[in-house]
């Protein structure tokens, strides 16, 4: 993987990138399956969408509130997206939004009392659903998967920073 042997590799070791591609597709399949299942259960059980749940999850971890930029970074979605998402959650009374007094560009949002209560109920069930979906994996599997995905995360970030 150093610069030196990358040339060597390119010639002698041919371009066998199929394994990584298959790995990526499998990773994507797992995520899609879980996400779809969570989405459908959230809808049936609580009549809430996944993005709203995710946003509330971020806010639940931040009792002092977050700025829209914070949320956007944490959720890894675009700024413009958050504006509309928050607007709907404000309308439904789950989220409180106010302009910062220190910097009038900034909107600080936080869960309302009822929003937090409702989220906690959903989160409790959600956690059980997830555990259920991973229940065929032993503790060791979970640890190992966690480790390998951690490594993957770093690897992807490195490639994204250098190449994009």
Min separation Cβ 24 and a copy of itself, Å? 5
Binding track over 84-113 against DNA, x by CB under 7 A:
xxx-x--------------xxxxxx-----
User: Taking CB under 7 A as the criterion, which residues in 144-163 touch DNA?
Assistant: none
69 is a contact residue toward DNA (CB under 7 A): yes
Min separation Cβ 145 and DNA, Å? 24
Which residues sit at the interface with a copy of itself, rule CB under 8 A? 1, 15, 17-24, 26-37, 40-41, 76, 127-139, 141-142, 144-146, 148-160, 163-164
76, 124, 131, 160: which one contacts DNA (CB under 7 A)? 76
From the list DNA, a copy of itself, none, pick the one residue 28 interacts with, judged by a Cβ distance below 5 to 8 Å according to partner type.
a copy of itself
Which residue, 70, 93, 94, 99, is CA-closest to 82?
70
Q: Between residues 9 and 98, which has the closer beta carbon with respect to a copy of itself?
A: 9
Q: Could you give the C-alpha distances from 81 to 69, 84, 123, in angstroms and in order?
A: 11, 6, 23
- Using CA atoms, how far apart are residues 58 and 37, in angstroms rounded to an integer? 20
- Using CA atoms, how far apart are residues 64 and 69, in angstroms rounded to an integer? 15
Min separation Cβ 115 and DNA, Å? 14
Sequence-ordered alpha helix ranges (H) in the chain:
3-12, 18-46, 50-60, 68-75, 79-91, 113-133, 139-163
111 forms beta bridges with 95
Q: Between residues 117 and 137, which has the closer beta carbon with respect to a copy of itself?
A: 137
The C-alpha angle 133, 117, 85, rounded to 5 degrees, equals 75
Whether residue 123 contacts residue 60, with contact meaning beta carbons closer than 8 Å, is answered with: yes
- Using CA atoms, how far apart are residues 59 and 64, in angstroms rounded to an integer? 9
Residues that bind DNA (CB under 7 A): 36, 39-40, 43, 49-52, 67-70, 72, 76-86, 88, 103-108
């Amino acid at each position: 993987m150093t610069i030196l042997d990358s040339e060597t590799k390119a010639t002698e070791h041919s371009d066998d990138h199929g394994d990584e591609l298959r790995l990526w597709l499998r990773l994507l399949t797992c995520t899609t399956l879980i996400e779809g299942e969570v989405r459908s259960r959230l809808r049936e059980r609580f009549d809430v969408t996944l993005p709203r749940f995710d946003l509330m999850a971020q806010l639940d971890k931040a009792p002092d509130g977050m700025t829209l930029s914070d949320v956007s970074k944490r959720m890894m979605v675009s700024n413009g997206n958050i504006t509309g998402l928050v607007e709907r959650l404000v309308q439904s009374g789950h989220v409180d939004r106010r302009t910062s007094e220190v910097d009038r560009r900034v909107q600080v949002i936080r869960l309302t009392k009822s929003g937090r209560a409702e989220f906690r109920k959903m989160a409790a069930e959600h956690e059980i659903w997830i555990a259920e979906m991973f229940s065929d994996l032993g503790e060791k599997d979970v640890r190992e998967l966690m480790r390998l995905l951690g490594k993957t995360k770093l690897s992807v970030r490195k490639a994204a920073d250098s190449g994009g």
